[in-house]
Amino acid sequence: MKAYVPRRVRRRRQIITQLIVCSVVAGICVLAIIMRYPWIIPGATEYMDQARVYWDLATLPLTVKINVEDAAFWGRNLLIVNISIENNSRFVILCKDLRLVDRGGQVYMPSSTSVYYVNRDESLWMRQINPGQKIKGKYAFSVPDSVFGLMFAVDTGNGLIKLKAISEVRRAY
């Protein structure tokens, strides 16, 4: 059995519900118009471009695929990683922006001496990965042998975006 609600109260609830629904529909229509014709409002195009960049950065771990085929220490402080990278984002990724991060948050840079340890054809040193491109190669990092929980990350200038963990590291010495 339903509880009795006076007619006046029911009518007020109905009006409030209609106002809320109309406000939401009007807001969606205004947003659709602004997104379709952003030049109507001054500064809207810059704001939308900035929002698009933030969205792309937030989805970067989903659009950049890194597959670690092999990771081996060639000395106490040199890690050679054989990787393939597939870039499905809108950004050009420079291999010099790849970093390794350990569990403690310590960041390890690529080693500029990788040209001595990796064949020039296989080296990813100073290469770039364009949108839609897939590339394979080896990269050297200066990492202490005692580090655990290494993960690839991309340095965007505003911060690091973590991409893929290295599951297995072997020692070649």
Predicted confidence at residue 122, as pLDDT, reads: 82
- pLDDT tens digits for 63-87? 999 999 989 888 788 899 999 999 9
pLDDT above 90: residue 18: yes
Question: What CATH class has 63-171?
Answer: mainly beta
Tell me which residue of 85, 165, 72, 164 sits closest to 118, measured CA to CA.
Answer: 72
- pLDDT tens digits for 153-163? 988 887 888 88
The answer to whether 129 and 85 have CB atoms below 8 angstroms apart is: yes
User: Please, what is the average pLDDT of the chain?
Assistant: 88
What 3 state SS string does 28-90 have?
Answer: HHHHHHHHHCHHHCCCHHHHHHHHHHHHHHHCHHHHEEEEEEEEEECCCCEEEEEEEEEECCC
Measured in whole angstroms, the distance separating CA 9 from the mean position of its chain's CA atoms is 51
What's the pTM value of the predicted model, to 2 decimals? 0.69
Predicted confidence at residue 2, as pLDDT, reads: 80
- What type of residue is 20? I
DSSP-assigned letter for residue 29:
H
- pLDDT tens digits for 26-66? 999 998 988 888 888 888 889 888 888 888 888 888 999 99
Predicted confidence at residue 125, as pLDDT, reads: 79
Predicted confidence at residue 4, as pLDDT, reads: 87
Predicted confidence at residue 5, as pLDDT, reads: 84
Tell me which residue of 60, 44, 76, 86 sits closest to 145, measured CA to CA.
Answer: 76
Any idea where the domains of the chain sit in the sequence?
A: 7-58, 63-171
